[in-house]
Amino acid sequence: MILDLSEDAKEFGRQALRAFEAAGGDQLLQQAEAKPDTREALVASVLDGLGAWELEPRSDPDALEAAAALCRSAGYWALPYPVAERLAGVVVVSDSAPEAPLAGLDTGWPAAALDGRRSRVARLGAGGPAFTTALELTANDGVADVALGLVLPCWTLLGMLDRAIDVTVAHVSLRRQFGQTLSSFQGVQFQLTDAEVERSGADILAKYALWSLATSDTETAINDALALRLAAIEAAEVVFRVCHQLHGAVGFCDETTLSWLSRYSQPLRRLPFGVSRTRDILTRRLGRRGLTGLFS
């Protein structure tokens, strides 16, 4: 078991980071929020240039790692397009009230419930915060790879956590109080350490879940994907809480990158189900068997 991405996948992720920055970086999300129907047009050329849609993560382990690296880079810049869902070939939705961050995009997206029942998005409801919208789905359309649809969005969220910590470290390194930078205070260092421990833990679990996708049976892969989702949401709660505390009130203003990251991380943390529902589903699926590997 090698819990790390290949050098080729890492390099692909670095190239994607640079490409997204050159295409507009944070401005892409701000432009998309103003005009949601331009979301795809804003990022289409850069994703095509990277060869994103040539990846086949469902059948090629190397492409799976490259797709994960791409999702992480997309999350770092809060790219206003559901890259992970398109690479996975499915949007995982709740049975009772299907929602997804698809506002401004065409219908026809494949969707699936946790049990794998596949359908298609026939109509979008009114757009809500962070591009979320209610979905009207068609009838059953086969079986989908739900595990992949759960894992790749966690890599997008992981990229957002990377950026949140980066901008917070930069913030406390510049701001001064009582004649010294905030970063020199022990209390600030402890808080950043707590956030980094959560982020790095989610990072290891994301790599393990990726390995499980390529090597395990369907049920085990879904359980590991749910365990990753639970860990990623819990890590996000700690990271964003710490980052907001260290930014202070300015962290909730649109002049700061953290505000945008925090707001647009919400669909990834809340859909298809939040922390309590994820924990409940995972507990019921496992019963007394428990998890294997790193999650045990």
Look at residue 292 in the predicted model and tell me its pLDDT.
73
Phi and psi at 56, nearest 5°, equal: -125, 75
Look at residue 295 in the predicted model and tell me its pLDDT.
54
Look at residue 254 in the predicted model and tell me its pLDDT.
79
Q: How many Cα atoms occupy the beta-carbon half-sphere of 186 within 13 Å?
A: 0
Look at residue 216 in the predicted model and tell me its pLDDT.
86
Q: Which of 124, 79, 127 is nearest to 98 (CA)?
A: 124
Residue burial 188-218, b: 16+ Cβ < 10 Å; e: rest: beebbeebbebbeebbebbbbbbbbbeebee
Looking at domain 146-295, does it have CATH number 1.20.140.10?
yes
Look at residue 296 in the predicted model and tell me its pLDDT.
55
Look at residue 293 in the predicted model and tell me its pLDDT.
66
Look at residue 194 in the predicted model and tell me its pLDDT.
92
- Alpha-carbon distance 183 to 92, whole Å? 40
- Domain definitions of the chain by residue range: 7-88, 91-137, 146-295
Q: How many Cα atoms occupy the beta-carbon half-sphere of 115 within 13 Å?
A: 4
- Alpha-carbon distance 80 to 6, whole Å? 27
Cβ(140)–Cβ(120) under 8 Å?
no
Give SS3 for 292.
coil
Cα–Cα distances (Å) from 174 to 160, 179, 203, in that order, read 21, 12, 27
Look at residue 294 in the predicted model and tell me its pLDDT.
61
Fill in the DSSP letter of residue 97: S
Give SS3 for 254.
coil
Look at residue 288 in the predicted model and tell me its pLDDT.
67
pLDDT by 10s per residue, the chain, length 296:
677 899 999 999 999 999 999 999 999 999 999 999 999 999 999 999 999 999 999 989 999 999 999 999 999 999 999 999 999 999 999 988 899 999 999 888 999 999 888 899 989 988 788 999 999 988 776 677 899 999 999 999 999 999 999 999 998 887 777 777 777 677 778 989 999 999 999 999 999 999 999 888 888 899 999 999 999 999 999 999 999 999 887 777 778 899 999 999 999 999 999 999 999 999 998 876 777 766 55
Burial of 106 (0-12, 13-18, 19+ CB in 10 A): exposed
